[in-house]
Amino acid sequence: MAFVRINGVLLHYRLHGPANGPALVLANSLGTDARIWDDFIDLMSGHHRILSYDKRGHGLSDTPEGDYALADHLEDLVGLLDHAGMQKPAVMGVSVGGLIAQGLAIAHPERVTALVLCDTAPRLGEATAWNDRIASVRAYGMEAISQSIMERWFSAGLFRQAPDALAGWRNLFVRTDPDGYCRTCATLRDTDLTAEIGDIACPTLVVCGGEDLSTPPDMVHASTAAIPGARFALIADAGHIPSIEQPQKLAELVTTFLKEAGHG
């Protein structure tokens, strides 16, 4: 485990792969930590230098006070890239991690070689829904929403075929710091990049699980059309987090894309 303090916030991060390999940064989803990438990293780290981390409020990173703005997450990530010596990596994110990746490509285009956006969009949900979720977690805890979240995250196949794995991912979610979770819900509530994603200039791959109920394929696909030159790929038999359910297929898509983008 490795830790660094960025602008007063302690962040947990991990580095895998050869030091001279093309750099790839992974940003995780709401209510998870960097472990959602483990199988994907195993498939990619033979060639790539991979940085994964727990965003603020999650995993082993600090949970600063107050609601988190997208700018807070971007400052954390830029500081972490500087610390790791990654000047212009490919950046890949899922859900709110994908929102962070979009924000980085918009605010700091000089820092991003290529972009992979998994199960995300420039705006994720409505303010009322996020406020309701925050209120529910504040009142009743993470357990109260865990079943509905699992049903939105994972495919029917995982429920049938891997109940123990499902139980483990549910444990990960339930043990997320509720303060960090709610403060990151505020990021999602307050962020809308719809008017800005047309400014993304780097090669972009947009990916969605075919059974994602959190960010359905139609929503994710719509963002592809708004990003110049972006391509879209649907991964069947996967829900909201393809790196968990279909890491091999995801690795194949990303490897091909990064090679074509000149970063592989």
pLDDT(1) > 90: no
Report yes or no on whether pTM surpasses 0.95: yes
State pLDDT tens for residues 126-173: 999 999 999 999 999 999 999 999 999 999 999 999 999 999 999 999
Residue of 169, 146, 184, 188 whose CA lies nearest to 62: 184
Average pLDDT of the chain is: 97
187, two tokens: 């990021």
Region class of 213: left (phi > 0), else alpha (psi between -120 and 50), else beta: alpha
Residue of 90, 99, 46, 70 whose CA lies nearest to 183: 70
User: What does the pLDDT average to over 82-103?
Assistant: 98
CB-based contacts of 235, cutoff 8 Å, min separation 6: 207, 208, 209, 210, 242, 246, 249, 250, 253
Q: Work out the pLDDT band at 4, boundaries 50, 70, 90.
A: very high
pLDDT value for 137:
98
Domain 2-260 has CATH 3.40.50.1820: yes
Rounded Cα distance, 188 and 262, in Å: 32
User: What does the pLDDT average to over 4-31?
Assistant: 97
Residue for token digits 């820092």? 111
Rounded Cα distance, 131 and 25, in Å: 30
State pLDDT tens for residues 189-244: 999 999 999 999 999 999 999 999 999 999 999 988 899 999 999 999 999 999 99
pLDDT value for 169:
97
Of all residues in the chain, the percent with pLDDT exceeding 70 is 100
pLDDT value for 131:
98
pLDDT(264) > 90: no
State pLDDT tens for residues 122-139: 999 999 999 999 999 999
C-alpha distances in angstroms, 223 versus 56, 194, 197? Answer: 26, 8, 8
